[in-house]
Amino acid sequence: MEHKWKKLIAYYKPYKGLFFADTFFAVLGASISLAIPLIVRYITRNVVYLPGEEPFSIILRLGSLMVFMVLIEWYCNYFITYYGHMMGTKIEHDMRNDIFSHYQKLSFHFYDNQKVGQLLSRITTDLFDISELLHHGPEDLITSLIKLIGSFVILLQIHPALTLITFAFVPVMFLYAWFFRIKMKNAFKANKARIADINTQIEDSLSGIRAVKSFGNEEMELDKFRLGNEKFVESRKLSYRYMAWFNSVMNALTTLVTIVVLVAGAYFITLKKVEITDLVTYLLYINSFTEPVKKLVNFMEQFQNGWSGYERFLETLDVQPDISDAPDAVELNSVKGEIRFEDVSFRYEEGLDEVLNHIDLTVNPGQYLAIVGNSGGGKTTLCSLIPRFYDVEAGRILIDGQDIRKVTLRSLRRQIGIVQQDVYLFMENVMENIRYGRPDATDEEVIAAAKLANAHEFIMQLPQGYDTDIGQRGVKLSGGQKQRISIARVFLKNPAILIFDEATSALDNESEKIVQKSMEALAKGRTTFVIAHRLSTIRNAEKILVLTENGIEEEGTHEALLAKNGAYAKLYRQ
């Protein structure tokens, strides 16, 4: 718990000047609200009974003083509302930077087990609740305690008995609030979980909108969404029921305090133990101690809401990347491209079967290696281990004799270019999507890369050429066009090692030929791994690897493997 508080307080440090200013104006505003009833009491108890014209001039001066105090209180409220919220927003900004940069560090293992909607909820809804707590929490706590303790001390000086009767309600209010504390915490946690579920459902449905419409399953998606939405309403219903009990009982207790003060005060007046002016003062102070109780109750609600969001925020930050740079990691530079797998084994999670089992493989610099085999044989997994998307369970992988776990991730991945079947294009124009391969590239270098990828011609036919917006995930382009932009990216990156993961399997014959030509141009002089779906595309490979559940069953050229009439020949005939 201590480390949680330390981390939370650390977010205030860059804005400590703003925090102390906000606190100062909150205290000043609370002090003014306590002082005004005392001035009113002084006027009604002393000034009005002075002789001649003297009361009028004093009342005028004290009235002017109170107006001036109200103006100061107005500025205090303006400052804490505007600058206090800005402080909260800046802290939220810093937290959002922290969690997003942490997301970038986490490996594929983390994302394999997470829903995007849940992650999105932590970076939006949760952080807003935290920022509200960080702004309002300290301010409400300080002003409430000042008003509560201050009004108690002042009223105790006026009439102890009436004060004790009045303040007898305060512990009742707090006990009532404490009773609901755990219930509200659980209710707000459930709300957050439901919101995250809805975000996940929306993200999933909208991302797959083409599949939804192609199967005519709009009603099914609506039903799934309605179910999640109804669960959200149910969770809100419970929290609002608690809120209704809170507010209604607190308002009733506040009114009851007023009634008790009036009745008890009137009784003490009949006994000549309280003056009417003191009763007026008590009535003016009722708001000064009932409002803080409400604020403290609201603070408890806000604290539960914000703290549950903060705990979820910390849960994410506490997830350690399972793949990171070793302390003594060095840069991988001037790569020739020799890759060696030495007794490599791998499984995705503890308890699951091994996907790769004792793999030994050497790929020479500049060699064109094709990997074939039935689905589930580990072809993509084998290639995913080279850029360390996952780490080997046993054995090691070496590039130019260096263990890839002993080099920095950034320098390792800089040397590897990947073209996948499912190309991801960003909501940018064509120019920026290609430039993603090397962000510091000039426009001329981007265009040169597009020409090498046989993409320049079709790009120039687009409405705005390289400035054409291609929509989310490149929906405005054909599969072949997206692949060529993907290949252009890799040309721009200019890596020593290439991985083509079934890059042409989803294309028609004509598009496949164009993309195949681009891939061959890109592969020249680079160590290349091709995961092949269509065996006709890899006849010219220098080495073909047949990978099955049993490991590497066969390796050789196309002709040699056909002559062997084994696993490869069987696949080829299929």
Q: What residue ranges do the domains of the chain occupy?
A: 2-317, 339-573
Q: What is the pLDDT of residue 444?
A: 92
Q: What is the pLDDT of residue 335?
A: 84
Question: How wide is the angle at C-alpha 63 spanned by C-alphas 58 and 65, nearest 5°?
Answer: 95
Give 274's Cβ-side CA count (13 Å radius): 27
What is the distance between the alpha carbons of residues 367 and 235, in angstroms, rounded to a whole number? Answer: 59
Write out pLDDT tens, residues 390-431.
888 899 999 998 999 999 988 888 888 888 877 788 878 889
Q: What is the pLDDT of residue 64?
A: 93
Average pLDDT over residues 32-45: 88
**Beta-strand pair 543-548/551-556:** antiparallel
Residue of 335, 391, 362 whose CA lies nearest to 529: 362
CA dihedral 246, 129, 8, 135 (to 10 degrees): -80
> Quick one: pLDDT band at residue 214, thresholds 50, 70, 90?
low
Q: What is the pLDDT of residue 71?
A: 96
3-state secondary structure of 316: helix
Write out pLDDT tens, residues 71-98.
999 999 999 989 988 898 898 889 888 8
Q: Cβ–Cβ contacts within 10 Å for residue 221, how many?
A: 19
Helix (H) or strand (E) holding 169: helix 169-207
Q: Do the beta carbons of residue 308 and residue 125 sit within 8 Å?
A: no
Is residue 55 packed enough to be buried (19+ CB in 10 Å), middle (13-18) or exposed (0-12)? middle
Report whether pLDDT(507) > 70: no
Q: What is the pLDDT of residue 291?
A: 80
Average pLDDT over residues 450-455: 85
Average pLDDT over residues 254-267: 86
Q: Which residue has the higher pLDDT, 111 or 226?
A: 226
> Quick one: pLDDT band at residue 162, thresholds 50, 70, 90?
confident
Report whether pLDDT(307) > 90: no
162-176 in b/e form (b: 16+ CB < 10 A) is bbebbbebbeebeeb
pTM reported for the whole predicted model = 0.71
Question: Domain 2-317 carries which CATH code?
Answer: 1.20.1560.10
Please, what is the average pLDDT of the chain?
A: 83
Residue of 506, 456, 462, 501 whose CA lies nearest to 480: 506
Report whether pLDDT(213) > 80: no
> Quick one: pLDDT band at residue 67, thresholds 50, 70, 90?
very high
Report whether pLDDT(183) > 80: no
What is the distance between the alpha carbons of residues 440 and 462, in angstroms, rounded to a whole number? Answer: 24
Q: What is the pLDDT of residue 340?
A: 92
Q: What is the pLDDT of residue 455?
A: 85
Is residue 211 packed enough to be buried (19+ CB in 10 Å), middle (13-18) or exposed (0-12)? exposed
Task: Tell me the two tokens of residue 12.
Answer: 């205030």
Task: Provide Rg for the chain, Cα atoms.
Answer: 35
Q: What is the pLDDT of residue 21?
A: 93
Average pLDDT over residues 502-507: 64
Q: Which residue has the higher pLDDT, 441 or 522?
A: 441
Please tell me the class of the 339-573 domain. Answer: alpha beta
Strand order in the sheet with 394-399: 356-363, 339-346, 394-399, 402-403
Task: Tell me the two tokens of residue 356.
Answer: 């790769």
Q: Which residues contact 53 (CB under 8 A, 6 or more apart)?
A: none
Average pLDDT over residues 263-270: 88
Polymer length of the chain? 574
End-to-end CA distance of the chain: 61
Q: Do the beta carbons of residue 454 and residue 514 sit within 8 Å?
A: yes
Q: What is the pLDDT of residue 489?
A: 87
Distances (CA, A) of 382 to 264, 347, 358, 379, 388: 84, 11, 12, 5, 10
